[in-house]
Structure 1
Amino acid sequence: MFIADEERVTITSALPYIHGVPHLGNMAGSVLPAELLHRYYDVRGTENIFVCGGDVHGTPLELEALERGEDPRDIKDEQTQKVKEAYESLNVDFTIFSDTHSEYNRKQTHDMFEELYCNGLINEKTQNMAYCEDDERFLPDRYIEGECPHCGGLARGDQCDDCGKLVEPKEIENAECQICNGNNIEFRDTDHLFLDLTEFKDEIKAWIKDEKPVPENMEKQILHDLEEAEDRSITRDQDWGFQIPVERANERIEEEDLDVEKLDPEVYDEKVLYVWFDAPIGYIGFTRELFEDSDEWKDHWNTDADIFYSIGKDNAIFHTVIWPTMLLGSRNEEIEYGLPEYEFIQQYLMWEDGAFSKSRNRGIFIDEAVEYYPADYWRFYLAKMLPTDHDTNFSWDDFESEINNVLNDTVGNFVNRTLSLAEQWFDNEVPEADLTEDDREMLEEVEGLVEEYNSKFEERSPKEALDRGLALARAGDRYLSEEEPWNNEDRREETIYVALQIINKLGCTLYPFIPESSEKIMSMLGEDSQIDSEQDLLSEDDLRPVEAGRELGEREILFEKIDVSEQKDKVDTMEEESEEDNVLNIETVSFEEFGEMDIRVGEVLSVEDHPNADRLYKVQIDVGETTLQTCAGLRNHYEAEELEGRKVVVLANLEPAELRGETSECMMLAAEDDSGNVSLLTTDQEMSIGSKIK
């Protein structure tokens, strides 16, 4: 049933990690279904918002920040913008794209934590966690990688990337620290807070069975995950993330005399909320940001709103078990959070029988896609290939076939042929027509296809809705061929009039999938090319005909046939070169780039412990013309006395960076083997301080 005008529709997609640009598989697996639904409701004139943002509290960003010697806060905006622009290059129409470190999300996260804790749904437990002896710190889940105990695939601390099973870090085989890449890991006890996942099992189970909010092929797995769920840690021993609102929770416990243990500030002031806890809360935090924290945001998240999520299958347990528990447990007098109306849970889009891989240049990444072909070509093909029920494979040959035979030959040719004839015979105007019974039957067939199109979207099947939209083009092409207006002059007015009505509906139905081309179609029909979200363009009551006498717009070619051989060879070559580099473990730089590096002999003048980092020294180095300071992670490898007076090789023109509050202006070069042994580089002969290395 179509949603009533007074209701609110909220659409979200899984939050992308902002470490690197997403690939086409990410687009098809989470963002695209949400985008299609968002634009569909725009065509239907239904108020809706599409909220998304960068997941910035994850391990990848902090590890990148450590490598770059920067604070994660200083690079999150740059990375978030890069991801946002990549998706927008494929015409993804976010209502808002923020990031999970925003102040609005901090407020929403603290609000929900307070409700959950004060309602007795968060409990303290002692957890045995991985601790890196070399880095002298606990390793949050994704700071440790190794082999999955279930399938042997790549397990990243809390989950296996290959089989999707939840994994405890202690279960991982051949575990490796992602900070130092060492194996000097032990497990130590540390206190953490856990979310109780048992309180609402019956309610969530009934919701899944009765409301059918998940695809049928995923229901059995989700019910199994729900049955096994017990509790899950929501805090971590690290710096990057939201602080735990200890004082706020304790004040409420005291004011309301709640039967809940107060939080110990000495334990929890130094910990942060874990990334998976504040990431889904970001959906609501972004909405608060969109509406500048006015009460309007609540209309999009209460039980009256229709809320849709689009996620990959690897995120199913978080969105169907953990997140509903958080929503139910956070309800209060101000807002009763609604559970999702539906969750698009996609399988994987693979790259020609293998996985996408940024490090191996395997597949096409979103920022590269539009360099090859227009955004609508990619959107169209990915929509046809949506991995709804099973994993699907991107194929260059299939991509070429769909663009040439369907988008160009079926859609483009029908539109161009009709408009060309209107231009030739009727001075580019919509002709007056005295419709026959056959003409009216044709228009009824069109309306029937539009109704089917609407039904498929309401049944959460955008891929099948696209098929109905394309059926309009096929029906129109058949109608023209049967009527043969080039041989039947007496029927030209009626034939072209009907064909123009079909094009009108074609432009509306294809808008979610190929918005840029659809707007061109509307413009060629002499209409405002912008979709008016307050008007339902596809309702039974509004045929929205292209009226007789209207002047048509300037005709233009919508699509062109493609030959993918050149692009395919280019991508394959990049992949092969990348594999060779991976085998050699080499990333090449140009001679000019190397020439810009000022590498010289220096002498260590003084060494002292870094005041804010356990594994760093603060070192003063004479490089000949001046003295530079570096922050070096050598405390686990050298005593201070071993370094003082030592001749070292220094990169002297390194861009200065702040490392834990201290400036680092240069870098001492060192070698490290697979066992984690470190040796500073020097020259094999006595060289004067400041001597250049070339």
Structure 2
Amino acid sequence: MAEEKTAAGQGQERKPVLPVAGRRNVLVTSALPYVNNVPHLGNLVGCVLSADAYARYCRLRGHNVLFICGTDEYGTATEARALQEGCSPREICDRYHALHREVYRWFGISFDHFGRTSSPEQTEICQGVFRRLLDNGWLSEKTIQQLHCGGECQRFLADRLVEGSCPVQGCGYGSARGDQCEKCGELLNSIDLIDPKCKVCGSTPSVRDTDHLFLELPLLKEKLERYIDGASGDGSWSQNAVQVTNAWLKGGLKPRCITRDLKWGVPVPHDKYKDKVFYVWFDAPIGYISITACYTPEWEKWWKNPENVELYQFMGKDNVPFHTVMFPSTLLGTGENWTLLKTISVTEYLNYESGKFSKSKGIGVFGNDARDTNIPPEVWRYYLLTNRPESSDTQFTWTDLQAKLNNELVHKLGNFINRVLSFIAKPEGVGYGSIIPPATNAESHPLTQAISETVGKLVDQYIDAMDKVKLKQGLKIAMAICNEGNAYLQESQFWKLYKEDPPGCATVIKTSAGLVYLLACLLEPFMPSFSKEVLQQLNLCPEEHLSFFDEKGERDKAKRPWDLIPPGHRIGKPAPLFKGLDDKAVKGFKEKFAGSQAERRLRAEVATQLEETQLSS
């Protein structure tokens, strides 16, 4: 079913977005969040929020955009969580899919469709890809050694059902998973773990032989390298994505196992392996395709149309090899005309205070936590995107959030907009009675001409940065326009001009109102609810006004900000846009979100018991 383009794909039914001849067609995906937990802030900025900012920017520019995401639901982690909670994997997926949707809705994520991988479409497309690989000779069978639990489980243990110490020299992390070390990021084989334990029953597993299917990456190397050489340059891949991909290639590609001894997953359509399912990293990227197929039966117009569709993918650095090596190799091996990745935008890690965010340990601020702070979503979006870890790890701290909110949003952005609109809203004699005045001498007003030239250059820089998916830089440039606006107001001394030079004052105020509109436009990809509120205060309709189409010449309009809102237009009611954060609130948040989620729950339970005891006495 097609859905309205709103947060997390909620809303009224509408016609599906399909590629249009003669337009730039952009397919945006965010790495599919795994369904076994609520996303934390690091997950959000690395994938979903970054992808949303870019998709919104593309729409602002008039491109034809489809933004696809959904929960990744198959695999070991879901089975493990279901065992832990004593329910079925389907129940886990249903519960957490709903939680994810709610978090993304609150954050204002504008998916065209937010689906899930546990669908009939996923099974059909995944099995179809497998059959093509099998027919083309890119798969092999191998007997491998795998850990088997001889305790309560009596089963072969998939990677994530095993935990032990990392075998990588210099790491030795004591809680490494059987597929990857969370500390050093190295991909692992569970049998190499030191002192492995079954995560379900705690038994020490033994090594046994078992047969599995492998994707022969070495045989696909030539096709893959030819694709990577072209795409990484033409698509301006982020440097960290290039480095990770090249490291995999230089390290020598090895056959990659694509089957697992699990029940929860896409069944392998092969008589010998009918009791196995596909490895989650084989089937999960295919989820982008199947989720699109759930959105429209004409999904091939997006996914088998490389001549007319550009694929942009957003993720954290730990997901890179699966999207630049595994997924392209899988699609290339089918011999079909797939739309392959053009541009990949990869973030480093966002750390929490003095440590790391961790879903498995419940450390950090999670999506539902952000909502419960009563700090508005536009503040969270601004902070995360201005702190986006694009080339190196960055750190979330409550004091930094406070500083950016108070200094940048309240005192600079909010103050500039409120100062301009409040002056226009004042009664005639001290203001303009809520009516935009005419700018009769803008062309000859030196200060206005100077700021128009500066702003025009900044808008060009903004578009250049955003086109290259440099989101952090784009946001910084947009805020630079706010700083220029504040300086322009102050230098003009408009409060004196109102009596001494009425035409000059009218020009300054009308130009400043245009800058307010321009900021609402440029900041929409980062803070959509803020932009909506500003346009309401300007009494402008977002659907009619928010755009930056080259073919309409709207990019050039920014160089004449006094022309952006017509004279005689009546604005709405001005109101403060942001509320500051005081030291007491910051101290409370630091205490509330210290430790893990389990420790927080324990503290809350103790506090509740204490309160009940006091009330009863």
TM-score bracket for this pair, using the shorter chain length: 0.7 to 0.9
Cross-structure match for 1:563: 582
Q: 1:453 aligns with which of 447, 458, 462?
A: 462
Give yes or no for contact 1:363–1:571 (8 Å, CA) kept in 2: no
SS in 2 for 1:105: helix
CA distance in 2, matches of 1:454, 1:365: 32
2: distance between equivalents of 1:509 and 1:574?
33
How much does 1:60 deviate? 2.4
Letter in 2 for 1:343: I
Q: TM-score, normalised by structure 2?
A: 0.86
Identify which of 423, 436, 441 aligns with 1:430. 436
SS at match of 1:520: helix
Indicate the residue corresponding to 2:142 in structure 1.
125
2:265 is equivalent to residue 244 of structure 1: no
**Separation in 2, partners of 1:139, 1:577:** 27
Cα distance in 2 for residues equivalent to 1:386 and 1:577: 23
Structure 2 counterpart of 1:142: 160
User: Any idea what the Cα deviations from partners look like across 1:619-642, whole Å, max 9, x if unmatched?
Assistant: xxxxxxxxxxxxxxxxxxxxxxxx
Query: Which residue is equivalent to 1:444?
Result: 453
> Which residue of 1 is the match for residue 505 of structure 2?
492
Q: Structure 1 unaligned segments of length 5 or more: list them.
A: 247-264, 593-694
Within 5 Å, which residues of 2 pair with 1:492-571?
Answer: 492-530=505-543, 536=549, 539-543=554-558, 545-571=564-590
* Alpha-carbon distance change, 577 to 297 in structure 1, aligned in 2, over 3 angstroms: closer
Report the CA distance between 1:142 and its aligned residue: 1.0
Stretches of structure 2 lacking an aligned partner (at least 5 in a row)? 1-19, 611-617
Q: Which residue of 1 aligns with 2:109?
A: 92
Query: Counterparts in 2 of 1:551-630, with a 5 A limit?
Result: 551-575=570-594
Does the 8 Å contact 1:201/1:226 carry over to 2? no
Which is higher, the Rg of structure 1 or of structure 2?
A: 1
1:505 shift after superposition: 0.9
The answer on whether the counterparts of 1:303 and 1:339 sit within 8 Å (CA) in structure 2 is no
User: In the TM superposition, what is the alpha-carbon distance from 1:101 to its structure 2 partner?
Assistant: 0.7
Matching residue's letter, 1:446: V
Alpha-carbon shift at residue 536 of structure 1 (Å): 2.4
Whole-angstrom distance in 2 between the partners of 1:341 and 1:352: 35
Q: Which letter maps to 1:269?
A: K
Change over 3 Å in CA distance of 1:232–1:531 after alignment to 2: farther
2-side partners of 1:585 and 1:465: how far apart?
41
Out of 403, 406, 412, the position equivalent to 1:404 is 406
CA pair 270-580 structure 1, distance change in 2 beyond 3 A: closer
Distance 1:7 1:383 in 2: 25
Deviations 1:586-622 (A, max 9, x none): 9979889xxxxxxxxxxxxxxxxxxxxxxxxxxxxxx
The question of whether the paired residues in 2 share the 8 Å contact of 1:41 and 1:48 is answered with: yes
In the aligned structure 1, how far is the partner of 2:368 from the partner of 2:600?
A: 22
* 2-structure distance, mates of 1:178, 1:331: 40
Find the residue that maps to 2:594 and give its secondary structure: helix
| Post-superposition offset of 1:326 | 1.3
1:206 equivalent in structure 2: 229
1:472 aligns with 2:493: no
Q: Deviations over 1:322-373 (max 9, x none)?
A: 11111212242xxx11222211111000001201245765321110112220
> Residue 106 of structure 1: CA displacement?
1.7
* Maintained 8 Å contact 2:74/2:265: yes
* Pairing of 1:177-256 with structure 2 (within 5 A): 177-183=198-204, 185-198=205-218, 199=220, 200-207=223-230, 210-211=233-234, 213-227=236-250, 228-246=252-270
1:500-541 Cα shifts (integer Å, max 9, x gaps):
111111100010111101111112222113477887288435
Q: CA deviation at 1:207?
A: 2.8
1:573 CA displacement: 4.5
* Partner in structure 2 of residue 350 of structure 1: 351
Q: How far apart in 1 are the matches of 2:607 and 2:495?
A: 63
Q: Is the 8 A contact 1:520 1:529 kept in 2?
A: no
Q: Specify whether residues 499 and 534 from structure 1 end up closer, same or farther in structure 2 by C-alpha distance, changes over 3 A only.
A: closer
Q: Is the Cα contact below 8 Å between 2:383 and 2:401 reproduced in 1? A: yes
* Alpha-carbon distance, 1:32 to partner: 1.8
Q: Describe the shift of the 1:4–1:345 C-alpha distance in structure 2 as closer, same or farther (beyond 3 A).
A: farther
Aligned amino acid, residue 258 of structure 2: I
Residues 573-582 or 169-178, more deviating: 573-582
* Structure 2 CA distance for partners of 1:574 and 1:451, relative to 1, 3 Å: closer
Secondary structure in 2 matching 1:426? coil
More helix by share: 2
Q: Structure 2 matches for 1:102-113, cutoff 5 A?
A: 102-113=119-130
Q: Which amino acid aligns with 1:195?
A: L
Shift of 1:291: 1.3
Q: Would you say how many aligned residue pairs link Structure 1 and Structure 2?
A: 565
Change over 3 Å in CA distance of 1:417–1:532 after alignment to 2:
closer
Mean Cα displacement is larger for which, 346-355 or 150-159? 150-159
Q: 1:382 is matched by which residue type in structure 2? A: L
In 2: Cα distance, 1:511 partner to 1:209 partner = 29
Report the Cα offset of residue 215 of structure 1: 1.6
CA separation of 1:588/1:320 partners in 2, compared to 1, >3 Å: closer, same or farther?
Answer: farther
Residue 40 of structure 1 aligns to a residue whose secondary structure is helix
Q: TM-score, normalised by structure 1?
A: 0.77
Separation of aligned partners in 2, 1:581 and 1:377: 24
2:325 aligned with 1:325: no
Distance 2:596 2:295 in 1: 44
Q: Distance in 1 between matches of 2:101 and 2:338?
A: 28
Q: C-alpha distance in 1, partners of 2:596/2:350?
A: 23
Match of 2:206, SS state, is: strand
Say which structure is richer in strand. Answer: 1
Is residue 157 from structure 1 mapped to residue 157 from structure 2 by the alignment? no
1:36 to 33, 39, 53: 53
Looking at structure 2, the residues matched to 586 and 382 of structure 1 have their Cα atoms a distance apart, in angstroms, of: 27
- How far residue 419 of structure 1 moved from its aligned partner, in angstroms, is 0.5
Change in Cα spacing, 1:549 to 1:331, as seen in structure 2 (3 Å) is farther
Q: Answer yes or no: is the 8 Å Cα contact 2:238–2:345 preserved in 1.
A: yes
The one of 383, 387, 392 equivalent to 2:389 is 387
Q: Take 2:509 and 2:289, find their aligned partners in 1: how far apart are those partners?
A: 49
Task: Please list the CA deviations of residues 461-503 of structure 1 after superposition, one character each: whole Å capped at 9, or x if unmatched.
Answer: 1100001100111111111111111101222110111101111
2:38 to 6, 10, 21: 21
Say what the alpha-carbon RMSD is for the aligned residues: 2.6
Q: Which amino acid aligns with 1:339?
A: L
Change (3 A) 1:307 1:294: closer
Deviation at 1:410, TM superposition (A): 0.8
- From 296, 301, 325, give the equivalent of 1:291: 296
1:313 to 287, 296, 317: 317
Q: CA distance change for structure 1 residues 174 and 364 in 2, over 3 Å: closer, same or farther? A: same
- Which residue of 1 is the match for residue 376 of structure 2? 374
Rounded to whole Å, the distance in 2 between the matches of 1:562 and 1:224 is 44
After superposition, the Cα gap between the structure-2 partners of 1:231 and 1:39, relative to the gap in structure 1 and judged at 3 Å, is same
Corresponding residue number in structure 1 for 2:281: 276
User: Partners in 2 of 1:68 and 1:579 — Cα distance?
Assistant: 15
Displacement, 1:218? 4.1
- Residue 137 of structure 1 and its aligned partner are, at CA, apart by 0.5
8 Å contact from structure 1 (residues 159, 167) kept in 2: yes
In 1, the alpha carbon distance for the partners of 2:554 and 2:143 equals 58
- CA apart distance, 1:97: 1.2
The alpha-carbon deviation at position 152 of structure 1 amounts to: 1.1
* Structure 1: distance between partners of 2:141 and 2:505: 78
Percent sequence identity over aligned pairs: 33
Partner Cα distance (2:578, 2:72) in 1: 36
Distance 1:442 1:542, change over 3 A: closer
Q: Partner of 1:409: helix, strand, or coil? A: helix
State the 1:213 CA deviation: 4.3
Bigger shift: 87-96 or 473-482? 87-96
Matches of 2:604 and 2:163, distance apart in 1: 22
